[in-house]
Structure 1
């Protein structure tokens, strides 16, 4: 049941909805996605039958960056059965990617990932030092 034309961003938003971040504001807070990107993804995912979108009436109070704010209730989404199936299938596809590898290929893959993590940790340390110098 592969769903056509799903971007990584769309898949991330499906995962956020599954994890309970079911409205535009919660998703933008939990990810790097902007409001209009999430709204566009909601429309696309709804058109594909993966989510149902509602716009509750009234306002909602949230704490954003340490400040309480009241605003119109954002659009909310709920996964449909088709959306749940898509997430399960994509999880299986990800696991299948490793099932077909030999022992040596798995070891090689792990070593590559460990090297990549080490490089990212070094870059993060440099970045953190740069930020601390600016503060």
Structure 2
């Protein structure tokens, strides 16, 4: 299943791109460093490659790593490397760290999040009422 290059990047895709940039450049490393599943990481890699932000290759052979204190040997996972376009994307879209926001930006962010939560609550209440009427 190939990702549509016109699709906007999701937070998960941005996370994987940032992981590759920081040196976690294979599926196992990205999965271990994030809360993403192996399947999610693979989907992100496909999508990022379709956007020409990374190049993915699968090295031959086996690899030995220590995972959770145990030595493991497994087939070499897919590896990714940023393209020039990927580097540009990261420089234009740096990760949003709350520590880097000004007081005004934090207030604005909190207000936006509170508004979104209220809208979700209203939608959930409406949905709940609709379900109860049908039961």
Gaps of 5+ in 2: 1-5, 111-135
Which digits, 9 at most, give the CA deviation of each residue in 1:72-127, with x for residues without a partner? 000000000000000010129x69xx99x8x8x35x739x6xxxxxxxxxxxxxxx
How many equivalent residue pairs?
A: 102
Moved over 3 A (4+): none
Q: CA deviation at 1:65?
A: 1.2
1:102-113 superposed matches below 5 A: 105=104, 109=107
2:30 pairs with 1:27: yes
| Structure 1: tracts of 5 or more residues without a match | 113-135
Match of 1:13, SS state, is: helix
TM (norm. structure 1) is 0.67
RMSD of aligned C-alpha atoms? 2.7
Q: TM-score, normalised by structure 2?
A: 0.67
Aligned partners of 2:32 and 2:9: how far apart in 1? 22
Which residue is 2:56 aligned to?
Answer: 53
Q: Distance in 1 between matches of 2:81 and 2:72?
A: 24
